[in-house]
Structure 1
Amino acid sequence: MSWVQQYQPLGSYGLSALVAGIPLYMLFYMLAVKRMAGHKAAFAATLTAVILAIAAWGMPVGLAIDATIYGAAFGLFPIVWIVVTAIWVYNMTVESGEFNIIKNSLAQITDDRRLQAIFIAFAFGSFIEGTAGFGTPVAITAAMLVGLGFNPLYAAGICLIANTAPVAFGAIGIPIVVAAKVTDLDMMKISAICGRQLPFLSIIVPLWLSVTMCGFKRTMEVLPAVIIAGVCFAGSQFLVSNYVGPYLPDIISAIVTILGLGLFLKVWKPKQTWHFPDEAPAAQRTVEAQFSGGEIFRAWLPYIILAIMVFFWGIDSFKAILDKIFIMKFEWPGLHNLVVKTAPIVAKDAPYPAVFNVNLLSTPGTAILFAGLLSIIFMPGYGFGKGIACLFRTIKQLKWPICTIAMILGLAYIMNYSGMSSSMGLAFTATGALFPFFSPILGWLGVFLTGSDTSSNALFGSLQKTTAQQIGVDPHLTVAANSSGGVTGKMISPQSISVATAASNMVGKEGDIFRFTLPHSLAMLGVVAVLTLLQAYALKWMLP
């Protein structure tokens, strides 16, 4: 028997929205104030949402539990499958020693701290964000910069600021995939809109990093390199996100930036090399080339293979071939079409589908798995036995993040299927024509709360869609803005700061880093908010 959603169970949209937000307030309090572990906070918030759905929104117990399990299942496949395989490839490069070659190949290109920050924190960090995401790039790049002799506060802060432009397309495009899934909107159009917002940040992030480190005057000394880095990344990000899809913008943009800047620095050097005033003598700073060109190519080969495999997996015709070999779709038992959406969310009553796709071969996680297995052949002295053992260690390493992802998606789905997200969205229509300005702010808040653009899109995607439809704005724009605004919250989220402090040996100094990054976060958020408002009305021609 079907159940009909209600959107103002407490008598008004305002009060209903206020109560619907309780799970999110809990998430904020537990993560930002109590600094509770992510999986514990997610469990408490999800349990609260289930109770509210049943007690206040009148959702039958069976449907509420089923919707939560359905969301958690989507979190496990394909989301967790992509995360596990991506971090597995990275872990193998570390265990085999190949990652040391990658680090050296980047570090020995230049001794100038400004250019090292752009190379490692911005370009290489974007590459790791694209392949792994979920805190991995900040951990890796902050540790690398400290190892090169950076001031620890700047190492942590610079890496957090740099980890903005690539986040929406991180972990093989998972934030965009989730946004499309929870809203039933066109994934390619969301990707394209993000690709027409984020390049405005991407092109200025290298300049932003350098000015933060040494001021505007000293930044002018490396302006040609700054321009090359910004144009290479922003241009590639625009083209790939608009014409290929959400899976590869970070990886390709990072490779183009590393190659473009590397080649440029072979023919151009700054007149003066800049270092932090309190650094060690020059003799202790220089990083010499320790490996041959062949060794460097071999070390990068796993990521080259990964990029090629994910590219092919992103082609619809290729995916169709794989799906002919194996795909299993089934209607989620006890939930499919048993929840009914009503006006004003839809023009006329419509059942809410719940179909689970087990596209085991065509999912990007499987592309990464094959890339990892193929890469083992080129890792000297490693072998398949060590590679498989590393896969199981990676799963064990990620056990709590896996739980967190599953529960956050469960939280998103119970809020969507119960109508709680719609209640909040309808309340936001009170902002009227100004809502597009607030769309990125919601995304920013979601990432601050959860530490993840993926989780933010899962939490607020449906709300963004509902509100946009009510005020007559393209919902693809507001859903994309949730992701674009979210990237600016990454640098101040408690989880990201915890990763940065651990990597830079600054545990206990989280407050210092928060104060360091907060002004940058707010300034970048302002750029995205104004741009989204303009794209909703005056600059509609910018949208696909």
Structure 2
Amino acid sequence: MYVQNLNPTGSLTLSALLASLPLLALLIALGGLKWRAHWAGAAALVISIVIALGVYKMPVGQALDAGVFGAALSVLAILWITFNAIWIYNLTVKTGHFAVLRRSFTAISDDRRIQSIVIAFSFGALLEALAGGGSPIAICAVMLIAIGFGPLKAAAVALVANTAPVAYGGLGNPVTILGQVTELPPETLGAMAGRQVSVLAVFVPFVLVGIVDGRRGLREVWPAALTCGLSFALAQFAFSNFVNYKLCDIFAALVSAGAVVALNRFWRRDGVPNRPVTAGGAVDDDAFTRRVGTPAGDSRADVAKAFAPYGVVVLLFSLAQLPGISRALEAPTVTFNWPGLHITSQAGKAVSVAYKLNWLSATGTLLFLSGVVTALVLGIKPTVAARTYWETLRQFGWAIVTILLVFALSYEMNLSGQISTLGLWLAQSGALFAFLSPVVGWFGVAVTGTDAGSNALFGKLQTTAAEQLHASPILFGAANTSGGVVAKMISPQNLAIGTAAVGEVGSEGVLFRRVFGWSVLFLLGVCVLVFLQSTPVLGWMRVGG
């Protein structure tokens, strides 16, 4: 039995400094030394194991087993989701329907800056709402390349866009997990998070336009950015607070895209009507080649088939929420304690090491079934669908190793006690913790790559700190989610997914430096907002006390 000691050196500051070394090593290796993500992840994992053994006195067997447990969790939580989401996308490329989808988006406007916010922000939010994981990053990055963006710029835009929707990704999975961990109502947590991330959503399209075209872009197309961000924010706030947090991103994505389409019917830019144009197949690339429809244009049937895969995903995921079907999908689920791990917290409670093998109800399985139905709808032969799946697996390469290593790192730090040490140290800041609370979530997502993972690691810590400080546990719990969403763009596994999708594996360090500044700027904004919500200044924005 390993009993966690959250202050192994006797000095909480020194213990926290040692516990932070794996995270610092990860950031320096990626951003400063320009290492590939899998090497950076491996180095951070080794440092974490050394600290677990030498400082926290964790037994060798359990220290190694903790990393294996984390890697095993990533298979269903991330890899199974991402593989199947990208497989669906690759099927549409094989048949030429992706080109129809691309032309449908470019028909909204002839301006790539406007196209980028509709694709990366609105459509990306829809993908995040349905599947989560790294699927919006991979799919949107490739779509941006198809309309003329360079590979790394496309990946950067997709990463930055994947922020505000993340809190409710995978049908609200991060908020649901936060509720389970903290034993607080997820509906209340979701409502509070909606009063934070919806503010962030207003500004994200402006940043995307700035990345694409700098100050000139902001000066020329700010009405489109404002329309997209504000409409998304209002819909996200309304649904998270008054309807259902699990559905808010789906409707926010549709509302924001519809608002931009409506704007472009009437808006005159520089005295010239912003009429939509249909892009042709001038570029010799699979994504541009017209293999369905006629040279005269895409028929309604062509467009319907192009959007059909995502309609299938919406339908299957909606059906899976029905009580009878949900119970049937959960019936074969097997949950067991991971062998070899016997850990007790400093407070004397057993630390959960449960592995939930929900192979039938898992998000990735529903995506796989969506891919099978997509293949049938698009008339793809089984052999072609199977070959495409194998090509999808090969496409990720080292990205698979990166994801396994990063999850191994996160659970090594969590089970040894390193993560909790950092949280306790931050909690010593007293009232200032309201400002630092989102930073905890930010670190959690930077390590795990998912907001759900960060909530699982830090959710209870946040509410415990709130109780010690006589503050709102709902506010701090939601802050963990809101702070985490802006770290997704810098997490090694998402950087690996982005570079793999655009064919730039090995450039994770370059991509990290391009987006790190935006992550920190967004984080600062969330920190200020949460702090003000903890005071009378914006205390009226709080929900649930």
- TM-score class, shorter: 0.7 to 0.9
Q: Paired residue for 1:418?
A: 416
- The question of whether the paired residues in 1 share the 8 Å contact of 2:167 and 2:451 is answered with yes
Q: Paired residue for 1:542?
A: 542
Q: What is the CA–CA distance in structure 1 between the aligned matches of 2:149 and 2:416, rounded to whole Å?
A: 50
Q: Paired residue for 1:377?
A: 376
Q: Paired residue for 1:280?
A: none
Q: What is the CA–CA distance in structure 2 between the aligned matches of 1:352 and 1:189, rounded to whole Å?
A: 26
Secondary structure of 2:57's counterpart equals coil
The alpha carbon displacement at 1:147 in A equals: 5.1
Q: Paired residue for 2:430?
A: 432
Q: What is the CA–CA distance in structure 2 between the aligned matches of 1:152 and 1:366, rounded to whole Å?
A: 30
Q: Paired residue for 1:327?
A: 333
Q: What is the CA–CA distance in structure 2 between the aligned matches of 1:430 and 1:70, rounded to whole Å?
A: 31
Work out whether 1:308 is the aligned partner of 2:308. no
The alpha carbon displacement at 1:474 in A equals: 4.4
Q: Paired residue for 1:197?
A: 196
Q: Paired residue for 2:292?
A: none
The alpha carbon displacement at 1:392 in A equals: 2.8
The alpha carbon displacement at 1:117 in A equals: 3.1
Structure 2 counterpart of 1:295, from 298, 302, 313: 302
Q: What is the CA–CA distance in structure 2 between the aligned matches of 1:71 and 1:260, rounded to whole Å?
A: 42
Q: Paired residue for 1:70?
A: 69
Q: What is the CA–CA distance in structure 2 between the aligned matches of 1:429 and 1:133, rounded to whole Å?
A: 30
Work out whether 1:342 is the aligned partner of 2:346. yes
Q: What is the CA–CA distance in structure 2 between the aligned matches of 1:471 and 1:266, rounded to whole Å?
A: 52
- Give the residue type in structure 2 aligned to 1:108: A
Q: How does 1:152-167 map to 2 (within 5 A)?
A: 158-167=157-166
Q: Deviations over 1:457-478 (max 9, x none)?
A: 6776566455445434445544
Q: What is the CA–CA distance in structure 2 between the aligned matches of 1:289 and 1:23, rounded to whole Å?
A: 57
- Give the residue type in structure 2 aligned to 1:342: Q
Q: Deviations over 1:205-228 (max 9, x none)?
A: 334545676788986876664444
- Give the residue type in structure 2 aligned to 1:57: Y
Q: Paired residue for 1:365?
A: 364
The alpha carbon displacement at 1:105 in A equals: 0.5
The verdict on how the C-alpha distance between 1:309 and 1:289 changes in structure 2, with shifts beyond 3 A counting, is farther
Q: What is the CA–CA distance in structure 2 between the aligned matches of 1:249 and 1:528, rounded to whole Å?
A: 20
The verdict on how the C-alpha distance between 1:339 and 1:217 changes in structure 2, with shifts beyond 3 A counting, is closer
Q: What is the CA–CA distance in structure 2 between the aligned matches of 1:176 and 1:161, rounded to whole Å?
A: 21
Q: Paired residue for 2:23?
A: 24
Q: What is the CA–CA distance in structure 1 between the aligned matches of 2:320 and 2:400, rounded to whole Å?
A: 24
- Give the residue type in structure 2 aligned to 1:115: I
Moved more, 473-482 or 362-371: 473-482
- The question of whether the paired residues in 2 share the 8 Å contact of 1:422 and 1:462 is answered with no
Secondary structure of 2:360's counterpart equals coil
Q: How does 1:142-161 map to 2 (within 5 A)?
A: 144-145=143-144, 148=147, 158-161=157-160
The alpha carbon displacement at 1:68 in A equals: 2.6
Secondary structure of 2:335's counterpart equals strand
Q: Deviations over 1:278-297 (max 9, x none)?
A: xxxxxx99x99831122111
TM-score (norm 2): 0.80
Which residues of structure 1 form unaligned runs of 5+? 276-283, 344-348
Q: What is the CA–CA distance in structure 1 between the aligned matches of 2:519 and 2:7, rounded to whole Å?
A: 34
The verdict on how the C-alpha distance between 1:508 and 1:371 changes in structure 2, with shifts beyond 3 A counting, is closer
- The question of whether the paired residues in 1 share the 8 Å contact of 2:4 and 2:344 is answered with yes
Moved more, 230-239 or 410-419: 230-239
Secondary structure of 2:164's counterpart equals coil
Q: Deviations over 1:408-439 (max 9, x none)?
A: 22222222222222222211122111112122
- Give the residue type in structure 1 aligned to 2:329: L
Q: Deviations over 1:363-414 (max 9, x none)?
A: 222221111111111114x222222222233233334333322332222222
Q: How does 1:57-456 map to 2 (within 5 A)?
A: 57-130=56-129, 137=136, 141=140, 144-145=143-144, 148=147, 158-170=157-169, 190-210=189-209, 225-241=224-240, 249-266=248-265, 268-270=267-269, 272-273=271-272, 290-314=297-321, 318-323=325-330, 325-335=331-341, 338-343=342-347, 349-380=348-379, 382-444=380-442
The alpha carbon displacement at 1:331 in A equals: 2.6
- Give the residue type in structure 2 aligned to 1:353: S
Which residues of structure 2 form unaligned runs of 5+? 275-281, 289-294
Work out whether 1:43 is the aligned partner of 2:42. yes
- Give the residue type in structure 2 aligned to 1:84: F
The verdict on how the C-alpha distance between 1:541 and 1:203 changes in structure 2, with shifts beyond 3 A counting, is closer
- Give the residue type in structure 2 aligned to 1:306: V
- The question of whether the paired residues in 2 share the 8 Å contact of 1:302 and 1:371 is answered with yes
- Give the residue type in structure 2 aligned to 1:364: T
- The question of whether the paired residues in 1 share the 8 Å contact of 2:2 and 2:58 is answered with yes
Q: What is the CA–CA distance in structure 1 between the aligned matches of 2:3 and 2:151, rounded to whole Å?
A: 55
Q: What is the CA–CA distance in structure 2 between the aligned matches of 1:392 and 1:484, rounded to whole Å?
A: 36
Q: Deviations over 1:7-43 (max 9, x none)?
A: 2111111111111122222212222222223233223
Moved more, 287-296 or 489-498: 489-498
Moved more, 299-308 or 361-370: 361-370
Secondary structure of 1:36's counterpart equals coil
The alpha carbon displacement at 1:308 in A equals: 2.3
The verdict on how the C-alpha distance between 1:77 and 1:241 changes in structure 2, with shifts beyond 3 A counting, is farther
- The question of whether the paired residues in 2 share the 8 Å contact of 1:31 and 1:450 is answered with no
Q: What is the CA–CA distance in structure 2 between the aligned matches of 1:143 and 1:80, rounded to whole Å?
A: 19
The alpha carbon displacement at 1:174 in A equals: 6.1
The verdict on how the C-alpha distance between 1:98 and 1:241 changes in structure 2, with shifts beyond 3 A counting, is farther
- Give the residue type in structure 1 aligned to 2:305: R
**Number of residue-to-residue matches in the alignment:** 526
The verdict on how the C-alpha distance between 1:517 and 1:398 changes in structure 2, with shifts beyond 3 A counting, is closer
Q: What is the CA–CA distance in structure 2 between the aligned matches of 1:235 and 1:141, rounded to whole Å?
A: 23
The alpha carbon displacement at 1:309 in A equals: 1.8
The alpha carbon displacement at 1:141 in A equals: 4.4
Secondary structure of 1:356's counterpart equals strand
- Give the residue type in structure 1 aligned to 2:163: T
TM-score (norm 1): 0.80
